[in-house]
Amino acid sequence: MSYSLYFHIPFCTHRCAYCDFNTYAGQEDSIPAYVDALCKEIEFVGQSSHAERSGSTVEAHTLFFGGGTPSLLSPKRFEKILRTIRDHFDLIEDVEITVEANPGTVSFDDLKTLHSLGINRISFGVQSANPEELRMLERIHDFFDVIDAVEWARKAGFDNLNLDLIYGLPEQTLTSWRATVQRILDLHPEHISAYALTLEHGTPFGRWSARGLLPIPDPDLAADMYEWASEAFDAAGYGQYEISNWARVKDESRKLKDKSAAGSSSFIFYPSSFECRHNLQYWRGLPYLGFGAGAHGYANNYRYSNTLRIKTYIERMNEYRKSNIEFPLSPATVNQHHQSVGDDMSEYMMTGLRLTREGIAAPAFRRRFGRELSEVYSREINDLIQLGLLEWHEEACEGYESSQALRLTRRGRLLGNQVFIRFVE
């Protein structure tokens, strides 16, 4: 089984008004100590995985640096982290390595160095092309920074770029959203993510909304924005593969390259488009290890998460003395949950149904749980089919030439939460 590895970089130069991620502004002085602690955690988990697996090294097929703003780290620090990862994990030849970047924090020289280090995918947080909307979100970049960042990334050699968008913003109109979508398509990224704004408790947006001060679009308008964008992405050659994610098809030479990489020691299903292989690992319920403050992981029947605060994370990684902590946990772990089969099934349904094209294949469910999908969830599935939110379809997926798979209908994509809640344990 090939793993995915996630590295959390919890630093931002400014906190955006809608953000509830585990990230901190004004703590950049801690970056050197944080990177040292991160490398210690990578080393610790790499060594404990050896012990657990009788000396064999964990194979990884994706690495993802998320945040926060990973692009605040210098290329030298990335080099150090990547060297530590390669020393303790077995990376497949065609490993996908993504770095999230704020378009206001990158330079051509840094992107060039990152590419030379083996990083092969950049995910830019664009959010909007409209200056007023970017100001309201308190983003530090403008759309000219996005144009520069994409141009520099191309020149630096990146042929796999994601651009992140948010719709349903305060005072956003269908016209301004359409303009954003069009400007994004003009940049020809390989991958686009478009998420609806969520108002999180404890953020300025959450507080202003509770006091009636935030004129967000009503749900019908937000649904229109989603549907309009889906059609525009589709018309521009992007295939939707997840509720909020679209990817371009790869050319033939690229597909062949991926096929040869699949000759690694374990079975990996390679997409024939620029789908994000790292995120597919989450949605398919496959194992991943999380490193860094607030990072989450799922492996060896554990779901776990690390301490949130940067200072505590550094202290924990510097001060541990005994090492009776078992793989995949580390001295930074503060929450761990041993998964029951019921937990696993429920999560498998909720994440797998996000995959709008492949859905959940009945044979894959049987292989994983030894039971029939249509029997375990017969009542829920029948109810949701009656409501027009789920459908069975025939699809070649994950090693099966053709199989019955359960997936969301077009209507179900708009009402995903009503579907997922039916599978909560």
List of residues contacting ligand SF4 (CB under 6 A):
12, 15-16, 19, 21, 23, 67-69, 102, 125
Give the residue with the Cβ less far from ligand SF4, 29 or 220: 29
3-class DSSP state for residue 368?
helix
Integer Cα distance of 126 and 146 in angstroms? 7
The per-residue DSSP string of 210-275 comes to: HTT---PPPHHHHHHHHHHHHHHHHHTTEEEEETTEEEEBPPHHHHHHHHHHTTSSS-----SB--
* Smallest separation, CB 143 to ligand SF4 (Å): 16
Find out whether 339 and 346 touch, Cβ atoms under 8 Å: no
In the complex, minimum distance from the CB of residue 260 to ligand SF4, in angstroms, rounded to a whole number:
36
- Considering the complex, state which of residue 23 and residue 180 has its C-beta at the smaller distance from ligand SF4: 23
- Of 101 and 314, which has the nearer Cβ to ligand SF4? 101
Which lies closer to ligand SF4 via its Cβ, residue 4 or residue 71? 71
Cβ nearer to ligand SF4, comparing 21 with 400: 21
CB of 27 to ligand SF4, least distance (A): 12
Report in angstroms how near the CB of residue 52 gets to ligand SF4 at its nearest. Answer: 33
Copy the structure tokens of residue 57: 């090294």
168: buried, middle or exposed (CB in 10 Å: 19+, 13-18, 0-12)? buried
Which of 21, 420 has the CB closer to ligand SF4?
A: 21
User: In angstroms, what is the minimal distance from the CB of 244 to ligand SF4?
Assistant: 16
Nearest to ligand SF4 of 10, 412 (CB atom): 10
Q: Are strands 400-408 and 390-397 parallel, antiparallel or unpaired?
A: antiparallel
Cite the DSSP H helix spans in 53-129: 75-88, 108-116
d(CA 240, CA 248): 9
Least distance from C-beta 295 to ligand SF4, angstroms? 14
Nearest CA to 385 out of 396, 395, 377 is that of: 377
Complex with ligand SF4: residue 21 or 195, whichever CB lies closer? 21
Question: Which residue has 């050896």 as its token pair?
Answer: 50
- The first and second tokens of residue 47, run together, are 């060594």
H or E element in which residue 326 lies: none
Considering the complex, what minimum distance in angstroms separates the CB of residue 333 from ligand SF4? Answer: 22
**Smallest distance from the beta carbon of 68 to ligand SF4, in angstroms?**
5
> At 415, is the secondary structure helix, strand, or coil?
coil
The CA angle 94-95-101, to the nearest 5 degrees, is 125
Give least dist CB 25 to ligand SF4, A: 7
Nearer to ligand SF4, 18 or 241 (CB): 18
**What distance in Å separates the CA atoms of residue 186 and residue 146, rounded to the nearest whole number?**
12
